[in-house]
Structure 1
Amino acid sequence: MSDTHSTAIDAEHLRSWIGRQETAIDTVSIDLVQKFNATLDLTADLPVTGDIAPLLINYCLAQPVVRGSLLGHDGHPQKGGFLPPVPLPRRMWAGSSLTFHGDFHVGDAVTRNSRIVDVAIKHGRTGLLCFVTVEHRSEVDGHVVVEEKQDIVYREAATAAGTVKTDDPAEPASIGTYTRSAPVDPTLLFRYSALTFNGHRIHYDQPYAVHVEHYPGLVVHGPLQATLLLNFARDLKGNVPKRFTFRGQSPLFDHDRIFLHAVESDRGLRLWTAREGGPVGLSAEAVWE
């Protein structure tokens, strides 16, 4: 663990961000839905106003728009605006818990209200961690369509190639009752980054991902994996679950052969992604109750 980072973090100052809010507005446009469907290879049909929008398209809506001069070296907005200025260099989407109250439709004007609800400093196997929890409520005409509690984790820097770790043991993933191949490649990652206006360089800039953050390749987005798993769950059960939670366990990369897995559970489905012969990448649960 880095003593420098330990003494540099002012937990009380960071927790003063709790309660901060921001609101953003966006539209579920025909163009966005067409590009989203094409990127995930969902359908070639041209969407029309009123169609039900694809699952988790909310991750493409009302994203922070920051001038290039205000981005950090990693491609993220500089810290200290809506999100607290956590002095740890590596930022990842740790997981989310979503509740679906309805569907987005093509043509909807969506208002996303976000609020920081917690900031917590922890010590894990990887060193010092800071978790920032954000609540998002996405509304259409004053009615909440999706509620989400998102956890963002900040970590200390990796020091050499091959040193990237996770907080969970890297045990080989089991094979699900249901499985589906999920091909990924750099083009898919680049297009998904563009759709979500995500400038984080680990997803599209291989020299940066390998030589600066010491990953073995481009990192597959957590919400992209979640979108693939949620579509898998919907296809298996025939309808959209009421609740869906996911948590990152181990990074997956553009050169991996990735599979989606699912098994029945008492409340619905337990799902996960994994590369062939590797540990769980993203674990998830879909509940229809």
Structure 2
Amino acid sequence: MNDDLFSLAGRVAVVSGAAQGLGQATALALAQHGADLVLLDRNLAGAEATGERIRAIGRRTLVAGTDVSDPLAIAELFRQVDTAFGRIDFLGNIAGDGHLSKPEDLTIADLHRVLQNLVVGRFAMCQEAGKRMLAQGRGSIMNIGSLASSTALGRGHIAYSMAMGAVLQMTRELSTEWSYRGVRVNCVTPAQVVNPSLEARMATDPTLEGRFLKGIPAGRLGQPKDIMGLAVFLASDSSEWITGAIIPMDGGNMAMNAGGTPGHEQRTVQSFRAESK
């Protein structure tokens, strides 16, 4: 295969949530394939640490602690991008906070905050990046959604699921409006990916990981590195006819019927039966 298909040399990518997890993995993968990076995270020290790793391989970086729920802050950030790089070729729209609450207890203020974080802020990021990409006649946006974009999780995810459903439809609408003008927009929908927040939840509830794995035929939780190849693919010319796609990154979770039994779970049952004879 021609390696140029995956080359990002001379391109500029903006990645939110770059201090850790999916954002950091995305940024590192893009840099390894030649891109210069704009790294956003409220954890500025963490984003700077990611930036140091990227500069060590010879790529340029701009690091900012931009609040990606604030459209005014986002607009200012993109003015900085204009000054520093003069272009943007890829947006990894990753950062954003949810909120867990039973539906009957969810306050309207908390609902507004989640929608601001995950819908309004993400749209503002798409809009600012999109304007510049449209002027260039090319560009690619990768929104990060969730299983909750298209199926219910329960467990207090009502606000998060409502917001992630909007991210999915935003992706489809932007792709429909912009693709003929050279700007591709896709959405990646992960299942449970290990990060500090999830690790803390699993430490509090030792049964949680097992419950998650019952819905994942691949037999393991996601890791941040699982986004790396997909991000490079979507940022590069190798995906130039891929747009408006909703791409699961979930170990087979969405493919399995809710009443299905993953292979690793079935093996456990078969083993139990054999041992019982």
Say yes or no: TM over 0.5: no
Q: Provide the TM-score with structure 2 as the length reference.
A: 0.29
- Higher helix proportion, which one? 2
Q: TM-score, normalised by structure 1?
A: 0.28
